[in-house]
Structure 1
């Protein structure tokens, strides 16, 4: 996990990346690597009955935009957890400065319901039975699903505990070029089996395909990054700046080839947390 944190630290606080994401997502911008939008979170919360009093762990929160948006849009209490100290630092700074673009239009009274901490999303150092739900959006690529689910179960409470994992998947094995670009191996076959791990833990699992919306976003993001390649080279260094654009280009090309899938896995425990 330390190696992952070091890699992602290098991408934080790069103005050209933030600008590209903001251009690609518009008023749905909630920070780098968000993997979803505030509108999506609002609909998800409505489906699962999350509201004021619901406590959600955002596992792998990155720079925290979606964590803040969840609290602002729904009234939930949201705790963001990420292994990257740089990402958590950005999240805390943005919260102190008034939140992210993605939640600004939905009230500024959510600050007291949002907090961020540095930690391992698969083994959180958090009290048992302290959350109603665990949310992992775009962060499940490096984790062993069975280990993560076992640890997350201990955190859950209430009558309708839930785990939501949103993850992209490329339906082929990685090539040497993919590995050279340091694309996360969990994107590729053999794919992490979140559905199987959650079902084995006793959850009822429902799966939805979110690919269409994701494809449009990746197209816009790649175009926005490519236009900023000189700035990325200057801000990140030539090698890292070019590699970052190349990574997003792989995702764009896989969408175009029909090999990329964006999957939502919603797991609920109907018997309540006592049955977990």
Structure 2
């Protein structure tokens, strides 16, 4: 999902708003241009090359089953399966996003290794011990970390299961303008504390800064969307089209001001050494 609530907005309302962004050609084209050959419309900033590096670091293979928590239109989920050979399950609160994900997946070579479902990423309705890893890229604002980590841990199996959370954070308080744009709650201070939640649940964590690569991605994305503003207005409506571009402009401007951070948190359970 790309946009989020003021404090009183429910996840269902967020999903309903996000539904309006599905199957918009101008948005699809801009994301495809900014991210590469990943499915369009995925507001994650995760390029296929990044997914390959992550999978190599964690030793993911054809026997690995990964949950993409908060999958949106499913581009990242399918790209992960295509680039690593793993089995991937995409889960999102937006029925429209999941419908789009399933439609786009049809006929692709990785279709037999990818499933999508509507559900709560913070409490997935999946069997205990059915996953090797959980991946949450750009979706860490939609659930309480402490509660969510407990549910995720129950789903994990194997000797060295992993949780990966990649989250953007802006280093200033939220303003009324930010609220008007309905950006993610927690994108501004105070931030969801995934690090403490994961450590408390018994995970060993590695934290890595991805800010420079994210800044480059956001610059490409904003430029691609700005060139398509007339099409955004036509396809979304004047005000929604301009607001969508304004949301991305906030990210671009905060990066330029040095107030944006993108953090990768890799959490592992169990002993031993990482495969890399």
Q: TM over 0.5: same fold?
A: yes
Cα RMSD (Å): 1.3
Shift of residue 35, structure 1, vs aligned partner: 2.7
Give a deviation string over 1:11-62, Cα, whole Å, max 9, x none: 1111111111122233355542133111111111111111011111110111
Gaps of 5+ in 2: 1-10
Q: Residue 62 of structure 2 is aligned with which of 49, 52, 68?
A: 52
Contact 1:210 1:262 in 2 (8 A): yes
SS of 2:117's equivalent in the other structure is strand
Shift of residue 159, structure 1, vs aligned partner: 0.4
SS of 1:135's equivalent in the other structure is strand
Q: Residue 84 of structure 2 is aligned with which of 74, 81, 100?
A: 74
The answer to whether structure 1 residue 154 and structure 2 residue 154 are counterparts is yes
SS of 2:112's equivalent in the other structure is helix
Shift of residue 64, structure 1, vs aligned partner: 1.0
The answer to whether structure 1 residue 17 and structure 2 residue 27 are counterparts is yes
Contact 1:30 1:37 in 2 (8 A): no
Contact 1:88 1:116 in 2 (8 A): yes
SS of 1:205's equivalent in the other structure is strand
Matches within 5 A, 1:82-97: 82-97=92-107
In structure 2, what is the Cα distance between the partners aligned to 1:93 and 1:236? Answer: 21
In structure 2, what is the Cα distance between the partners aligned to 1:115 and 1:25? Answer: 22
Match of 1:206 in 2: 206
In structure 2, what is the Cα distance between the partners aligned to 1:24 and 1:122? Answer: 29
The answer to whether structure 1 residue 263 and structure 2 residue 263 are counterparts is yes
Match of 2:137 in 1: 137
**Greater mean alpha carbon deviation, residues 192-201 or residues 2-11:** 2-11
Contact 2:42 2:76 in 1 (8 A): no
| CA 113–26 in structure 1, closer or farther in 2 if over 3 Å, else same | closer
Give a deviation string over 1:226-245, Cα, whole Å, max 9, x none: 11111111111111111111
Contact 1:57 1:131 in 2 (8 A): yes
In structure 2, what is the Cα distance between the partners aligned to 1:78 and 1:254? Answer: 33
Matches within 5 A, 1:179-198: 179-198=179-198
In structure 2, what is the Cα distance between the partners aligned to 1:181 and 1:32? Answer: 19
Match of 2:118 in 1: 118
Gaps of 5+ in 1: 99-107
Match of 1:39 in 2: 49
In structure 1, what is the Cα distance between the partners aligned to 2:245 and 2:232? Answer: 9
Alignment size in residue pairs? 262
SS of 1:264's equivalent in the other structure is strand
Match of 1:102 in 2: none
Normalised TM-score (structure 1):
0.92
Match of 2:4 in 1: none
Normalised TM-score (structure 2):
0.92
Contact 2:74 2:98 in 1 (8 A): yes
Give a deviation string over 1:173-221, Cα, whole Å, max 9, x none: 1011000111112101011100010001010011000011110111111
